Amino acid sequence: MSKHLIVGGGVYGAAVAWHLAKSGEAVELIEAGKLATGASGGPGRRGVRANGRDVREIPLMVRAREIWPSLHETLGTEPLFETTGQLQLIEREIDIAPAEARAALQTRLGIPSHVLSSDEVRELEPDVSPAIRAGLFCPDDGVAFHEKTTLAYAALAKEAGALLREGVEAEKLLERNGKVLGVLTTNGDEILVDGKVLLFCNAGVKGLVSPWVDLPVWSRTFLVAVSKPLENNPVRHLVGHASRTLSLKREPDGRLMISGGRPGIWDPETRTGTPIQKEVDLNVADAVATYPSLEGMQIETADTNHLEAESIDHIPIIDSLPGNTNVLYAVGWTGHGWAIAPAVAEMMANWVLAGQKPKLLEPFAFSRFG
């Protein structure tokens, strides 16, 4: 039996470790820090959104949608996913025609989507600002607990026989006679395997593969601001905005989570992020402009401690290393890798087990850059 090495203990590493271990494969996973503390960790919940995705990701989302509602039963946990519907609010006339085209395309590809009139938006979200003219609505979208899901995958992987090691960082890939066989850790240990080497270490992937390929990805933090509990939280759905950097999630305890992609400052030495007050203020200002009753809301937490890799064309790069078909990597989720994770992890495991890249992952090959 071959043994596989997974680098990275976020949702991708943990989920693939589970899929492989339950299929009888020997798996070792190494995580530089603690499990579920990278992009798959942190406050609040993550959006499980098909609405507004790149068209190449829609088939992945169709499969993810089949998995999410009952994933907690598979993982043996309390419910992890909540269907809230995702409503992208439209403030500018110019955004209505693209929304109509998108609704038709998404619906044709298996994601029912509707453009809502101003009145229909207010039936769903009565407290939006008078400036909102329309909306693009995906009723089956929702939110999921990211940290709990990742840790549940990891627990099942362990139960199925995978070896999960925290505090072990891959420094470089080890090559013997032109073939990558494992990693050298920052402690100087060599981990060699005869199966696949799977790189799911997000911001860490670019450096590890750099002797072979120069990936057009970079890493950065995303701001998440969480309000103090609100007596009358006006946000009822997972809400996005067509022309503002804004994503709003209502938390079960009445708090409001405000995000959307604003940056923080990352310190590579301490591996922590520092929020930029101006960005927090701008995020809050966009929320208040969209829901005027949020005026005066107080922010309890502003978090930028979770690094994510972005790609040049905003979709991930999922491939094998040139000349080394035993090394697979997936990186560049660009702030929306969570929703598709259960589907993509399943496909990555199938790739390892069947020895062939699943068709739905073909559009994400590095060769798309020429």
| Binding footprint of ligand FAD on the chain (CB under 6 A) | 7-13, 30-33, 37-40, 42, 46-47, 169-170, 200-202, 204, 222, 224, 259, 306, 308, 333, 335-339
Closer by beta carbon to ligand FAD, 61 or else 294: 61
Compare residues 47 and 234 and give the one whose CB is closer to ligand FAD.
47
**Backbone Cα Rg of the chain:** 21
* Separation between Cα atoms, residue 162 and residue 145, nearest integer Å: 23
Whichever of 137 and 200 has its CB closer to ligand FAD, that residue is: 200
Q: For residues 194 and 17, is the Cβ–Cβ distance under 8 A?
A: no
Closer residue to ligand FAD (CB): 30 or 121: 30
As measured in angstroms, the least distance from the Cβ of 232 to ligand FAD is: 24
Residue 336 CB, nearest approach to ligand FAD (Å):
4
* CA–CA separation, 320 and 331 (whole Å): 12
What one-letter code names the amino acid at 50? A
187 Cβ contact list (under 8 Å, min separation 6): 168, 169
Nearer to ligand FAD, 130 or 252 (CB): 252
For residue 123 the two structure tokens come to 């039936």
Q: Least distance to ligand FAD from the beta carbon of 150, Å?
A: 7
3-state secondary structure of 289: helix
Residue 178 beta carbon to ligand FAD: minimum distance, rounded to whole angstroms: 22
Query: By the 8 A CB rule, do 238 and 49 touch?
Result: yes
The residue of the chain with the least Cβ separation from ligand FAD equals 10
CB of 30 to ligand FAD, least distance (A): 5
Q: Which is nearer to ligand FAD, 91 or 141 (CB)?
A: 141
To ligand FAD, the closest distance from the beta carbon of 231 in angstroms equals: 25
Task: Please say whether the beta carbons of 128 and 89 come within 8 A.
Answer: yes
As measured in angstroms, the least distance from the Cβ of 49 to ligand FAD is 6
CB-count exposure of residue 161 (10 Å: 0-12, 13-18, 19+): middle
Name the 3-class secondary structure at 38.
Answer: coil
> What SS3 state is found at 292?
helix
Q: How far apart are CA 320 and CA 348, in angstroms?
A: 11
If the CB atoms of residues 49 and 97 are measured against ligand FAD, the closer one turns out to be 49
Q: Tell me if 15 sits within 8 A of 105, measured CB to CB.
A: no
Return the number of the residue (279 or 308) whose C-beta is nearest ligand FAD. 308
Name the minimum Å distance from CB 13 to ligand FAD: 6
Pull the structure tokens for residue 161: 């026989």
